[in-house]
Amino acid sequence: MRIPFIPLFLLVLPLVEIAGFVVVGRQIGVLATLGLIVATGIAGAMLMRFQGFGVMTRIRRDIEAGRDPGRELAHGIMILLAGFLLLIPGFLTDILGILLFVPKVRDLGWRFLKSRVNFATDFSAMGGGFARRGRGRTIDLDPDDYSKGESPRSRGSPWRQIDEE
């Protein structure tokens, strides 16, 4: 019989975190332990913000160059997960969160995910990206130049003649 990993992890994680609080609290004291937990939460929020903006810039650069942004998207998701893990009080989640902020660890995660996840992206149809797309001709109409129904003015329109042919 196969034991489901996620429910088991969710049951064991709080017990490990409580044990970590007890061990660290005995070594450095209760107030220092609480201060450390608050500090890691603040650091996680700041790191998530700064590294997140960098990832967004790299994703945009890859799209504009017509390259596949799958790697940077995965890095962005891992940074979001890292910040979330740092916001959760506990030392095990903090260690995992800090590791996910390290680019080499994220690259290992990307190598693992790359073969298992299909990022269906085709940016060649965009003509090389958003910045290079050609703009179409803009036709400016007055409010009385367009109506959904047939108006007396449109009966002699050359556009109607093309449709009728």
The answer to the question of residue 4 being in a domain is no
- Which of 87, 97, 83, 102 minimizes the C-alpha distance to 37? 87
**pLDDT, greater one: 116 or 156:** 116
How many structural domains are present in the chain? 1
Whether the full predicted model's pTM is greater than 0.75, yes or no, is no
The answer to the question of residue 41 being in a domain is yes
* pLDDT tens digits along 120-143: 555 555 544 444 445 567 777 777
The answer to the question of residue 23 being in a domain is yes
C-beta atoms surrounding 28 within 10 Å? 12
Paired tokens of 156: 């002699």
DSSP structural state of residue 130: T
The answer to the question of residue 147 being in a domain is no
**pLDDT, greater one: 74 or 32:** 32
* pLDDT tens digits along 85-119: 988 889 999 999 999 988 899 889 888 877 777 65
Q: What percentage of the chain has pLDDT greater than the value 90?
A: 23
Q: Is 29 left (phi over 0), alpha (psi -120 to 50) or beta?
A: left
3-class secondary structure, 116: coil
